Amino acid sequence: MRRSKQWPATNHSPNSKLIRIFWMSFTLMVPLLLSAQTTSPQARATKITFENVPYGDHPNQVIDFWQADVKGPAPLVIFIHGGGFTGGSHDKISQEKVQAYLDAGIHHASIEYRFLKHAQFPAPHEDAVRALQFIRSKANAWGIDKNRIAAYGGSAGAQLVAYLAWADDFADPDSKDPISRESSRLIAVAPIGGQSTLDLDWWVEHIPGYDRNFHGDGKRGDLSKIEQRALVRELSIIHHISPDDPSTFMSYGMHPEAPIPSNPKRARGWSIHHVNFGIVMEEKLREEGVEVFLKYPKAKVPFENDTAFLMHHLTQ
C-alpha cells in the first residue's frame, strides 16, 4: 500500500522563487511546446456541461467538464495541456477526441493550472493534484465513478499526468478539508511527448541535438545545492516510478534512430520531445513490474493510440 504523499521539506512553496534553470528553459521553449501540442484549437462543437468550474482561488484554477449521456456513475478521463508551464490553454483541445470519449460513455475533463508567471514550482503540480481531488469530491454530483479515472496530456501536461499517476497518493485522511481527503491516483495514464527529468545535464548526455546553450546557467543564490537537487528530483517524474503504478502508454513522434532535423527550429522542438525520454521511463517501469507501452513510428504496440489505450482501461 502506497503512503500518502507530502511535499518535500525544501523551500518550494508556490510563493518561493523559481529555480532559474526551469524558468529559462521553459520560457524559451514555450513556442515550440505549444506548436507540439497533440490537440489543436477548434470550435467548441461539443457543449460543455460545466465550464470553468473553480477548484481554487486563482483565475487559472478551473476545470471544464463534459458529462457523458449515461445512467449511473461513469468513468472519467482528464486532459492536461502543455506549454512549458508558461502558456497553453485548457480549452485548446480536440473536439473529436472529447466526443469519442463521450460516445463511449466516458466523462471528459480538461484542467487549467497556474503558470510560472503566477506562482513558482511546484505550483502546476500542486494544482494538478488539487484539481483531481476536487473532481473526485464531485463524484456524486457529476456522476463519476471515482475508481475509474485516467488522464492524458502532452509535454508539460505529460509530466503532470505522469506525476499524478506515479507520485505517492496525496490523500490526507485526517484533513479537515474534505477535498484533501480524496485520492490523487489514476488507474491508467497516457503521457504524450513527455520529459522524464528536469535535469538538463541529463538532456545533454542522452538527447540527440540538445544543446546546453539553449537555456540558462541554472545558478541560484537563495537555495543550496542540496535544496536545488531535491526540487529537481521531486519534479522529475522518473523518480516517482514504483511497482504499484498504473498501466502506462507513452507516445513520441520520432524513431529512436531518426536523424536530427536539418531545420534548427524544428530540431530544437524535436529534441525537447525526444523518444529517449520515453525509453528510459519504459525501462524503469518495466524494472518495477508496471505494464507499459511505448509508441513511436514503426513500434509494435497493441493499441493504435492513447485514446484506444485509455478507453480499454476505463471500460473494463
More confident residue, 205 or 23: 205
Grid cell for residue 155: 509535454
pLDDT at res. 4: 56
Q: Amino acid letter at 129?
A: V
Computed over every residue of the chain, the mean pLDDT equals 88
Rounded to an integer, what distance in angstroms lies between the CA atom of residue 38 and that of residue 76? Answer: 20
Alpha-carbon torsion (105, 70, 64, 187), positive or negative: negative
- Over residues 99-156, the pLDDT tens digits come to 999 999 999 999 999 999 999 889 999 999 999 999 999 999 999 999 999 999 999 9
Going by the DSSP 8-state scheme, the letter that residue 78 receives in this structure is E
pLDDT at res. 228: 84
| CATH of range 20-314; options 3.30.420.40, 3.40.50.11060, 3.40.50.1820, 2.40.30.30 | 3.40.50.1820
pLDDT at res. 100: 98
Contacts within 8 Å (CB) and 24+ apart, 290-295: 290/241, 290/243, 290/245, 290/246, 290/247, 290/248, 291/247, 291/248, 292/247, 292/248, 292/249, 292/250, 293/248, 293/249, 293/250, 294/250, 294/251, 294/252, 295/249, 295/250, 295/251, 295/252
Going by the DSSP 8-state scheme, the letter that residue 237 receives in this structure is G
Q: Residue range 17-21: average pLDDT?
A: 43
pTM metric for this prediction? 0.88
Q: Is the pLDDT of residue 238 over 70?
A: yes
pLDDT above 70 covers a percentage of the chain that reads: 82
Strands (E), the chain: 50-54, 62-66, 74-80, 107-111, 144-154, 188-192, 247-251, 292-295
- Over residues 272-315, the pLDDT tens digits come to 999 999 999 999 999 999 999 999 999 999 999 999 999 999 99
What is the CB neighbour count within 10 angstroms for residue 213? Answer: 8
Q: Residue range 31-52: average pLDDT?
A: 62
